[in-house]
Amino acid sequence: MAFLVVISILSVAVALAYERHWEEFWQVVPWVTLVLSGLALVALVLRTSRATIRIARIVAVLVLVAALLGIWRHFDHNYGTAVMDQDYSERWGDMSVAERVWTVANGSVGHVPVPAAGALVPVGLTLWMTTLGLGEQSRRKAEARRQKP
């Protein structure tokens, strides 16, 4: 499972680098989540303990929250700039909220890809799944150490 986390981190990093996704504060957030994910994975591999498992799970949740935040920010940016779009500027005011939401969600308006931030989801999920069962293994190892004379 750790291999999938590494592949997820590297693939998102390549996509972010390709888009030069580092020019403003919010564009750095996914980079931070990737670094934290990598550090959490290294900690799990080097020393599996309750603490590292807990840290990895917290990081996984933060990555998922960052993905949702990124999806919302991409959507919000496109929604806010839609009135300037050459195809929709004249009719944007007459469209219903549902039509506007759909137009933004399906990529018809705006230049920021709404689902792109969802690329962080596999990073968070695979990191979380990597921790499954490790708690029991860590507990068994600790008990075995205590029982040795």
The alpha carbon of 49 is separated from its chain's Cα centroid by a whole number of angstroms, namely 24
Question: How many domains are there within the chain?
Answer: 1
Average pLDDT (40-60) is 95
Per-residue pLDDT at 138: 62
Per-residue pLDDT at 139: 66
In this predicted structure, the answer to whether residue 55 has a pLDDT above a threshold of 90 is yes
Q: Which DSSP helix (H) or strand (E) runs through 125?
A: helix 121-131
Local confidence band at 142 (pLDDT 50, 70, 90 cut-offs): low
User: For residues 60, 9, 45 and 68, what is the CA-based torsion angle, rounded to 10 degrees?
Assistant: 0
Per residue in 85-138, pLDDT (tens digit) is 888 989 999 999 999 999 999 999 988 888 888 999 999 999 999 999 887 766
Per-residue pLDDT at 1: 83
Local confidence band at 145 (pLDDT 50, 70, 90 cut-offs): confident
- Mean pLDDT (the chain, rounded): 91
Range of the domain at 125: 2-147
In this predicted structure, the answer to whether residue 146 has a pLDDT above a threshold of 80 is no
Percent of the chain with pLDDT over 90: 75
Percent of the chain with pLDDT over 70: 95
Which of these, 15, 52, 53, 50, lies nearest to 34 by C-alpha position?
15
DSSP letter assigned to residue 136 = H
Per-residue pLDDT at 40: 97
In this predicted structure, the answer to whether residue 147 has a pLDDT above a threshold of 80 is no
Per-residue pLDDT at 61: 98
